[in-house]
């Protein structure tokens, strides 16, 4: 009988590492309490290798393999189509992550509406909401329900059966953490359940050629909850990000087997769902306090698009032993570094000052190209010298105080000119490309100064007062 005995092993639910005995901490990824007991039985359908789906037994010559174009469903929602790489690919599996309440279900509903508008069927499975709640949201989004079917329930096998019967073009799972597979002996929402349910969905997508959109919750740290390998199993990983106290949302591509990950979609959450923002700079700069000390517009890249965001700063004399630094929409550690560089390399001390930096409108600056603009905003408020309304600055600031070149200078400058910027403080290292840009755009009235050290930019700011 010994040969028939089920083999017990322990598998890390985070990274999939295996161990013959239980461990408190996974030796591979270092996560605590993730080793789960697994009994190896004859492989269930969920865990059979996925590669078997792509079914060719004999090796094929690369040149002999037919590719054809991916069969895509264009959604006519540019801010969604672009991150997807040009529409929803039939037979693909998409994972959409985001914080609770950020608008995942809303966005997915709008995608369902677009797919059913193409004359295709949609099956929406919710383990979170009842049919009535789903209907209420559908009404709010003016969704015509003729080709959209909903099931409220958590049993994965039922979902698969229904999907095979209805043959929709799109299957939505809202959310994977609320789905349950009887064969997997772990509680709902556990990493094992999530992985096995996803494996079944991937199989279904490939066998039935249905696009599967899986909604996933995120952890406190902002990562998708559940095993990390979930991201490896699916074709596309998207995140919907934003600050719930603002209307601004970004749909970001983290992985895409059918397109670029450098794309993103921008939205505004309104009374009728998410609306694509065509002109993000105007949206983010509306109501800008131009001409007030501590405000500057900075050109940032979001995906392949340049947009102007307003960086605001405030500094006041601190009554605390350790002065306070608060950054909203700007990297906190980056702010600390910039303040240190300003103090050491430009002799503008901040050690007695509380400093606050905020990016207006809920946008998050994620690149160092905005360093020089942020430094100017902070110094502007300290000196009480407004940054002229039409002045913008670009450049990364190094620890020695030098201003380093930025990427995509042409795209950024084009957006600045479109948004009526007239004075530019640019890194010396971008001189060649920037000169070429201005030579090609002689109509834009402007002043350009190339900056080598951060102190030079501050001197120009001071001169602006005089
Ligand atoms: P929801 O899509 O349920 O978020 P998630 O699925 O990510 O948890 O929606 C989140 C919020 O959006 C909710 O608090 C209500 C709001 N909302 C609007 O502002 N406008 C709308 O048209 C809809 C449908 C929701
Ligand atoms: Mg939801």
Nearest atom within ligand 1 for CA of residue 174: 6
pLDDT for residue 6? 65
Q: Is the pLDDT of residue 70 over 70?
A: no
Q: How far apart are CA 171 and CA 125, in angstroms?
A: 8
Residue 106 CA, closest ligand 1 atom number: 2
The strand pairing partners of 125, in sequence order, are 151, 173
**DSSP class of 402:** B
Instruction: Give me the half-sphere count of Cα atoms (radius 13 Å) on the Cβ side of residue 83.
Output: 24
State the residue for tokens 């239980």.
Answer: 22
Give the distance, in angstroms, between the CA of residue 347 and the centroid of all CA atoms in the same chain.
37
**Which ligand ends up closest to the CA of 141?**
1
CA of 280 to the centre of ligand 1 (A): 21
Cα(397) to centroid(ligand 2), Å = 41
Average pLDDT, the chain: 89
- Report the pLDDT value the prediction gives residue 144, as an integer from 0 to 100: 77
C-alpha to C-alpha distance for 189 and 262, rounded to whole angstroms: 31
Coil, helix or strand at residue 122 = strand
% of the chain surpassing 70 pLDDT: 92
Q: How far apart are CA 157 and CA 44, in angstroms?
A: 13
Decide if 39 contacts 15 (C-beta within 8 A).
no
Q: What is the pLDDT, as a whole number, of residue 202? A: 95
Of the candidates 203, 198, 204, the residue with the CA atom closest to the CA atom of residue 227: 198
Q: Work out the number of other CB atoms within 10 angstroms of the CB of residue 393.
A: 30
What tokens appear for 215 in the block?
Answer: 């909604």
> What distance in angstroms lies between residue 345's CA and the mean position of ligand 1's atoms?
47
> What is the arithmetic mean of pLDDT over 372-394?
95
User: What's the average model confidence in pLDDT over 197-226?
Assistant: 87
* Domains 73-278 and 282-465 alike in fold: no
1.10.3720.10, 3.90.320.10, 3.90.550.10, 3.40.50.300: CATH of 73-278: 3.40.50.300
Q: What is the pLDDT of residue 446?
A: 79
pTM above 0.85, yes or no: no
Domain-wise residue ranges, the chain? 2-40, 73-278, 282-465
Mutate to test the pocket of ligand 1, among 240, 269, 274, 275 (most ligand atoms within 8 A of CB): 269
With left for phi above 0 and alpha for psi between -120 and 50, is residue 395 left, alpha or beta?
left
More confident residue, 42 or 239: 239
User: Does pLDDT of 1 surpass 50?
Assistant: no
What does the pLDDT look like over 113-126, one tens digit per residue?
999 999 999 999 99
Ligand 2 centroid–CA 153 distance in Å is 14
Secondary structure of residue 38 in the 3-state scheme:
strand
Q: Is the CB of 244 under 6 A from ligand 1?
A: no
Quick one: DSSP state of residue 361? G
Confidence of residue 2 (pLDDT cuts 50, 70, 90): very low
Which tens digits make up the pLDDT trace of 140-182? 888 877 889 999 888 999 999 999 999 999 999 998 989 989 8
Does the beta carbon of 139 lie inside 6 Å of ligand 1?
Answer: no
Q: What is the pLDDT of residue 3?
A: 45
Nearest CA to ligand 1 atom 23: 273
Q: Model confidence over 310-369: pLDDT tens digits?
A: 999 999 999 999 999 999 999 999 999 999 999 999 999 999 999 999 999 899 999 999
Q: Tokens for 420?
A: 């009526």
Phi, psi angles (nearest 5°) of residue 228? -60, -30
Q: Which two tokens stand for residue 33?
A: 């309490």
Residue 69's pLDDT is 63
The class of domain 282-465 in CATH terms is: alpha beta
- Please give the distance, rounded to the nearest whole angstrom, from the Cα atom of residue 104 to the centre of ligand 2: 6
Who's near 185: CB < 8 A, 6+ residues apart? none
Lowest mean pLDDT among 4-13, 100-109, 192-201, 410-419: 4-13
Q: Is the CB of 272 under 6 A from ligand 1?
A: yes
How many CB atoms within 10 Å of residue 405?
18
The ligand with the least distance to the CA atom of 175 is: 2
pLDDT at 308 over 70: yes
Pairwise pLDDT comparison (144 vs 99), residue with the higher score: 99
Distance 25 CA to ligand 2 centre (A): 32
Low-confidence winner among 40-44, 218-222, 278-282, 412-416 (lowest mean pLDDT): 40-44
Q: Where are the beta strands (DSSP E) in 79-190?
A: 88-89, 93-98, 122-126, 148-152, 170-174
Report the pLDDT averaged over residues 263-276.
92
């Amino acid at each position: 009988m010994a040969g028939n005995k089920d083999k017990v092993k322990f598998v890390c639910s985070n990274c999939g590492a295996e161990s013959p005995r239980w461990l408190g901490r996974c030796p591979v990824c270092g996560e605590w309490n993730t080793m789960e007991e697994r009994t190896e039985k004859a492989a269930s359908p969920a865990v059979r290798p996925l590669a078997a789906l792509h079914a060719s037994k004999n090796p094929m010559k690369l040149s002999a393999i037919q590719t054809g174009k991916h069969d895509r469903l264009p959604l006519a929602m540019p801010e969604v189509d672009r991150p997807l790489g040009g529409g929803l690919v039939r037979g693909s599996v998409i994972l959409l992550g985001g914080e609770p309440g950020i608008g995942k279900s809303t966005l997915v509903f709008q995608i369902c509406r677009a797919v059913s508008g193409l004359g295709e069927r949609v099956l929406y499975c919710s383990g979170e909401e009842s049919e009535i709640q789903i209907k209420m949201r559908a009404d709010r989004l003016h969704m015509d329900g003729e080709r959209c079917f909903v099931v409220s329930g958590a049993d994965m096998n039922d979902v698969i059966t229904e999907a095979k019967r209805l043959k929709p073009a799109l299957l939505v799972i809202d959310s994977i953490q609320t789905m349950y597979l009887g064969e997997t002996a772990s509680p709902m929402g556990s990493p094992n359940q999530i992985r096995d349910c996803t494996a079944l969905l991937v199989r279904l997508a490939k066998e039935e050629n249905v696009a599967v959109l899986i909604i996933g919750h995120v952890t406190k740290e902002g990562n998708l909850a559940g095993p990390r390998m979930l991201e490896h199993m699916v074709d596309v990983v998207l995140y919907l990000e934003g600050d719930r106290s603002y209307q601004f949302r970004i749909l970001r591509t983290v992985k895409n087997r059918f397109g670029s990950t450098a794309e993103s979609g921008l939205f505004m959450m309104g009374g009728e769902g998410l609306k694509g923002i065509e002109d993000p700079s105007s949206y983010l700069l509306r109501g800008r306090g131009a001409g007030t000390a501590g405000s500057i517009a900075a050109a940032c890249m979001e995906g392949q698009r340049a947009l102007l965001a307003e960086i605001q700063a405030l500094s006041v004399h601190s009554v605390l032993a350790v002065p306070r630094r608060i950054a909203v929409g700007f990297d906190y550690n980056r702010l600390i570094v910039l303040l240190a560089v300003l103090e050491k390399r430009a002799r503008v001390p901040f050690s007695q000052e509380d400093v606050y930096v905020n990016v207006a409108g809920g946008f998050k600056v994620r690149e160092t190209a905005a360093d020089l603009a942020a430094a100017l905003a902070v110094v502007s408020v300290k000196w009480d010298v407004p940054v002229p309304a039409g002045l913008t600055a670009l450049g990364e600031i190094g620890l020695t105080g030098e201003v380093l070149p930025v990427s995509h200078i042409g795209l950024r400058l084009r957006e600045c000119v479109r948004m009526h910027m007239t004075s530019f403080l640019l890194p010396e290292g971008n001189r060649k490309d920037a000169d070429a840009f201005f030579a090609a755009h002689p109509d834009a009235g402007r002043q350009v100064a190339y900056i080598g050290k951060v102190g030079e930019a501050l001197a120009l700011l001071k001169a602006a007062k005089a």
